[in-house]
Chains A and B, each alone.
Chain A
């Protein structure tokens, strides 16, 4: 495919078009993925997550500048929520990253979650592959502002960074399952505000536990608007990646990730297999009515559709 050849040479327009095909589930999406797949797996993927307003975009901007100084090409995927009512979205993360737009070694793409819960979109992992294949060495995936259970990003990223700020939550919040379990690095951003000590004390509970890889999560203070703590954070990110390589975790996680990817692809393909058939769309709508009237339960309805599609 000409488009893929161009993107493999680093052509940003081609990469941008390819990303749209993947986001839109275009018929050509599978061909694009198939063609770029052998060229992926080289980038260090870093997930940035945390509550709304903690400064994730500003932190990504500061980190991207730092990794550019270290001569790395940087890809950024910034995810914001899609309206569940209209399907529209206001993607505003570029506002904080404007000055990177013209940097040859940077590619930034904004994405809506498009109905997917978990702080990412269904296409996020595939879009990362495009950036990887076009030669981006460090890829940041910044999730939509996440609450407690948006942990999808950990399945996609090698290094997960959870961004907090002073004044959010107490020690009980820090003991809950979910987002605080996925962090390899915890950043307390806006560390020039009051209340840093108690935030650190609360987070220390989350940091105590080693990850299955043996990595002990680390905490760090930053003031991203002033580039404070950014060099240390970039060092820590590199340290974590080295740890993953040396401990063999990177390799074992590759298999885990492949499993996740196959699962996700399977459910997506099954879904499309059923819903792309015109004759089944009518049946789908009938079943919706029956479920609403409590004449059938959703699981039986799903089984019925699979049966009609010749899969069950």
Chain B
């Protein structure tokens, strides 16, 4: 009866959360318990919320262009705390050349604009089946 729990987070100052909300809702409709943090979260807050909520995955959305800094900080803090059992994904306006770098940081998937919701849901189903 293990239920998949996913934290959907908006790091930084960017106030555009339509995408994050659409993803949150799609995951909800696929049977996931989605914890939505709301806007303007610091990387420290995101990791701490993920710990307290004991989530299986974190999905971050950033549309401001600050993703390389913000996402990296989240990955660094996770590493520093020795957390390796949380899958991290991201989305937003991410230039193609950054995708490889993000994956090298340990981000498992990058869901850019136009990604079918089905893909995001299927990705999380696989985590549930792990």
- Write the residues of chain A forming the contact surface with B, with a CB cutoff of 8 angstroms: 12-13, 16-17, 19-20, 23-26, 82-83, 86-92, 94-96, 98, 101-102, 107-110, 112, 114
The residues of B with any CB-CB pair to A shorter than 8 Å are 1-3, 5, 24-25, 27-38, 40-42, 44-45, 48-49, 51-54, 83
| Min CB gap B99→A, angstroms | 28
Closest Cβ of chain A to B55, distance in Å, is 9
Known: A87-B3, A88-B30. A20 touches B54 (CB 8 A): yes
Report A-chain residues with C-beta under 8 Å of the C-beta of B83. Answer: 13
Instruction: Flag if B36 contacts A86 (CB, 8 Å).
Output: no
11 A-B residue pairs with CB within 8 Å? A13-B51, A13-B54, A16-B54, A23-B3, A88-B27, A89-B33, A90-B25, A90-B34, A92-B36, A94-B36, A94-B37
Residues of B within 8 A of A102 (CB): 42, 44-45, 48
Q: Is the interface of B mostly helix, strand, loop or mixed?
A: mixed
CA distance A13 to B47 in the complex (A): 11
Whether B44 contacts A90 by the Cβ 8 Å rule is no
Q: How far is the CA of A20 from the CA of B50 in the complex (A)?
A: 13
Bound: A282/B33 CA distance, A: 29
The answer to whether A98 touches B37, judged by C-beta atoms less than 8 angstroms apart, is yes
User: Are the C-beta atoms of A90 and B24 separated by less than 8 Å?
Assistant: yes
Known: A98-B40, A98-B41, A102-B44. 8 other contacts (CB 8 A): A12-B52, A24-B1, A26-B2, A90-B24, A91-B35, A98-B38, A109-B53, A112-B3
Given contacts A16-B51, A102-B45, contact A94 B38 (CB under 8 A): yes
- On chain B, the residues within 8 Å of A19 by CB distance are 54
User: Given B1, B40, B52, which contacts A108 in the complex, CB threshold below 8 Å?
Assistant: B52
How far apart are the CA atoms of A26 and B1 in the complex, in Å?
Answer: 8
Residue in B closest to A23 when the chains form the complex, CB atoms:
B3
Known pairs A95-B38, A98-B41, A98-B45; A87 contacts B31 (CB<8 A): yes
* Alpha-carbon gap, A101 to B37, bound state (A): 10
Residues of A within 8 A of B53 (CB): 16, 109-110
Nearest 5 CB-CB pairings of A with B: A95-B38, A16-B54, A88-B28, A87-B31, A88-B31
Q: In the assembled complex, which residues on chain B have CB atoms less than 8 Å from the CB atom of A25?
A: 1
Given A90-B25, A95-B36, A98-B37, A24:B3 Cβ within 8 A:
yes
How far apart sit A98 and B53, CA to CA, in the bound complex (Å)?
A: 13
Whether A109 contacts B52 by the Cβ 8 Å rule is: yes
Contact assessment for A86 and B38 in the assembled complex, using a CB-CB cutoff below 8 Å: no
Q: How far is the CA of A47 from the CA of B15 in the complex (A)?
A: 33
Q: Considering the chains assembled together, what is the distance between the CA atoms of A109 and B48 in angstroms? A: 11
A residues in contact with B32, CB < 8 Å: 88
